[in-house]
Structure 1
Amino acid sequence: MIMRRGEALLLPASPWFIGLTLLLALGANVLPFGRVPAMPDLLALVLVFWAVHQPRRVGIVVAFVFGVVMDVHQGALLGQHALAYTLMSFGAVAMHRRLLWFELPAQMLQVLPLFVLAQVTMLGVGLAAGGMFPGWSMWLAPVFQALLWPVATLLLLAPQRRAPDPDQNRPL
């Protein structure tokens, strides 16, 4: 892949770090904040991030498993989050090569439809099962998730940006 001028060469992502970030995002999602419709889904954000940056390690199966865990935790219709996370992960894997060519503001605009798709899927499944409409503020959650994309990029790529042993012969 041709790198842009000034772009750092990244080290490979550690599977332990990927797993830790997914578990921390799951832990942040299960904190008892109550049912706030505008609350961003941090697990969805981290799943999309790793599906874009490491599609062979974090893909549809991982998204499905974490979706079932979220369904069980929230007492939601079994498969509601799993379906939404799976569709979102499929979209992220499908566009991962194209997305990485853009700068962060353009990436934010391109991941926003993935987060909206997940929200529409969860809303549709919930309403089809006889649930109530959570209110119009629920449409703020995908916007907040897209706005958190640069923060996730900065934090989750930080361990890969460090040089292993820089010296005069190996400046990378």
Structure 2
Amino acid sequence: MIMPRGQQLLLPANPWFIWGSLITALALNMLQNMGLWGRAAWAPDLVAVVLVFWAIHQPQRVGVGTAFLLGLAMDVHQSALLGQHALAYSALSFLAIGIHRRILWFSVPSQAAQVLPLFVSAHLLVVALRLLGGDIFPGWTVLLAPAIEALLWPVVTLLLLLPQRQAPDRDANRPL
């Protein structure tokens, strides 16, 4: 594959790092729901951001099955309608895998603008499932969550690509 101009050649992603980042995002999501601001409608879904990142950068390792399992874990944690996060994360992962070849050609801010509709659709799907289950409308602040997630995209990209940007063998004469 031809690399886009100015893009750095990356090392292969370590599977332990991928799974560790997904589990860390799940733990941070759970802590955020329990303590910081509770289940605020505007709170960003960190699992969704990290899941989309890895579905775009490593679609052969993180796919719809992974998204489904993470969604079930979130459903059990939130005592929510079983399957609502699983369906939303699965759809999110499917859409991210569908655009993974195209999105990598853009700069990181442009990528954030392109993943924003994915986050909006996932949140709308969760709200629709909650409304069908008999819950009340959470308010229009639910539209802030996808915007915050899109704003987190550059930070997540920087943090999760950092191990892949390091040289495998450090040498003063051969920078990577």
TMscore range, shorter length: over 0.9
Aligned counterpart, 1:50: 54
Does residue 1:112 correspond to 2:112, yes or no? no
Alignment of structure 1 residues 2-151 onto 2, 5 Å:
2-31=2-31, 32=34, 33=36, 34-151=38-155
Aligned counterparts of 1:155 and 1:115: Cα–Cα separation in 2:
20
Gaps (5+ residues) in structure 2? none
Aligned counterparts of 1:145 and 1:35: Cα–Cα separation in 2:
16
Give the CA deviation at 1:15: 0.5
Aligned counterparts of 1:60 and 1:86: Cα–Cα separation in 2:
5
Give the CA deviation at 1:3: 1.8
Choose 134-143 or 31-40, whichever is displaced more.
31-40
Distance 1:168 1:4, change over 3 A: farther
Distance 1:7 1:166, change over 3 A: farther
Matched to 1:152, the amino acid is V
Aligned counterparts of 2:25 and 2:175: Cα–Cα separation in 1:
34
Give the CA deviation at 1:105: 1.5
Deviations 1:116-160 (A, max 9, x none): 111011000000010010111110000000010000000000000
Gaps (5+ residues) in structure 1? none
Task: Normalising by structure 1, report the TM-score.
Answer: 0.96
| Percent sequence identity over aligned pairs | 61
Give the CA deviation at 1:4: 3.1
Task: Normalising by structure 2, report the TM-score.
Answer: 0.94
Aligned counterparts of 1:96 and 1:86: Cα–Cα separation in 2:
15
Matched to 1:111, the amino acid is V
Give the CA deviation at 1:99: 0.3
Aligned residues: 172
Aligned counterparts of 2:7 and 2:119: Cα–Cα separation in 1:
27
Deviations 1:35-63 (A, max 9, x none): 11100000000000000000010010000
Aligned counterparts of 1:68 and 1:171: Cα–Cα separation in 2:
43
Aligned counterparts of 2:169 and 2:14: Cα–Cα separation in 1:
17
Task: Give the superposed CA RMSD.
Answer: 1.2
